[in-house]
Amino acid sequence: MEEITIYRTDWNRILGGILCLLCCGVCVFALFHGKAGELGWWISLLLCGFGGVITLDTARREFRKPYLVITEKRLFISRIPQKDWIINFAEVERFERVPFSVFSPFTKQLSVYYKVEKKVFSPTIRGRIASKIFSGPHEYIPIDGVKMKAQQLCDLLNEKVAESLKN
């Protein structure tokens, strides 16, 4: 069984690490050089310290886990704050690259068209609103910051859908 794993780009990971160090640095600066008194000291400790820890934990989990795992029958999408998302190729009609989205204009996305109309729970609020207002794709997969080009990924997924039709 052939399994393809796609990770986020290194720049995405490096920026997450820099953000973590920045949060910790602000916390240390506020602790030792702040003139806001004891209340300001505790507020800076809570806001910046826990923000740095949460960012560090998210970055740690993202370094080890691939974002997309493509198998013969399924596509696994790892979403760190939320639970993982699984798409079966047997249920999919096609994947399409979305060049521009009204709801999030700065992200690259793939749209998923299913064979039959089914009630789809989109992981984002914008996706749920879009599925109620517009007819068309049932789900969107955010693919900004992955190591593979968007069109190559779309072609690979469509090949997997065609292979699942043969079986």
pLDDT digits (tens, 9 = 90+) for 69-79: 999 899 998 87
Give the mean model confidence (pLDDT) for residues 102-119: 72
Residue 85: predicted pLDDT: 84
119: pLDDT strictly greater than 60 = no
Give the mean model confidence (pLDDT) for residues 10-38: 72
Per domain, the residue ranges of the chain are 8-64, 68-166
% of the chain beyond a pLDDT of 90: 7
How distant, in Å, are the alpha carbons of 55, 64, 97, 119, 160 from that of 20? 5, 17, 32, 38, 38
Tell me, which fold does domain 68-166 have in CATH? PH-domain like (2.30.29)
Residue 2: predicted pLDDT: 80
Residue 144: predicted pLDDT: 78
Task: Assign 31 to helix, strand or coil.
Answer: helix
Task: Assign 77 to helix, strand or coil.
Answer: strand
Model's pTM, two decimal places?
0.65
21: pLDDT strictly greater than 60 = yes
The Cα–Cα gap between 112 and 47 comes to 38
Residue 135: predicted pLDDT: 53
Range with top average pLDDT, 2-16, 51-65, 97-111, 114-128:
2-16
